[in-house]
Amino acid sequence: MAGVETHAVQAAAAAAPPAHGGAFDAGPYILHHILDSNTIEIPWSGKEIHLPTLHLGSFALPITRNVVMMWVASAILVVLFTLAARRAKEPVPRGLRNVLETLMLWVRDDIARKTIGHGADRYLPFLLTLFFFVLTCNLLGLIPGMGTATSAISVTAALATMALVMIHFAGIREYGVIKHFKNLVPHGIPLLLLPVMIVVEALGILSRPFALAIRLFANMTAGHVVILSLVGIIFLLQTPWVALAAVPFTLFILLLELLVCFIQAYIFTMLASLFIGMSAHPAH
Chain segment 168-198, per-residue pLDDT in tens? 998 888 888 888 777 777 777 777 777 777 7
pLDDT at 10: 46
pLDDT at position 42, please? 79
pLDDT score at 3: 44
Q: What is the pLDDT of residue 204?
A: 81
In angstroms, what is the C-alpha Rg of the chain? 23
pLDDT at 283: 67
* Torsion 188-191-192-196 (CA) sign: positive
What number of other Cβ atoms are within 10 A of residue 153's Cβ? 15
Evaluate whether 127 touches 269 at the Cβ level (below 8 Å).
Answer: yes
CB 80 within 8 A of CB 104: no
Residue 280: per-residue pLDDT: 84
- Using alpha carbons only, give the angle 45, 51, 54 rounded to the nearest 5 degrees: 175
State residue 143 phi and psi, 5-degree precision. -100, 130
Rounded CA separation 73/67 (Å): 10
Q: Write down the pLDDT at residue 134.
A: 96
Q: Which of 259, 266, 257 is nearest to 131 (CA)?
A: 266
Residue 175, pLDDT score: 84
What CA–CA distances, in Å, run from 75 to 133, 139, 278? 10, 14, 33
Q: In one letter, which amino acid is 189?
A: I
Residue 18 DSSP one-character state: -
80-94 pLDDT, tens digit per residue, is 999 988 887 888 788
Residue ranges of the chain with per-residue pLDDT less than 50: 1-21
Please give the backbone phi and psi of residue 20, each rounded to the nearest 5 degrees, phi first: -80, 5
pLDDT of residue 26: 66
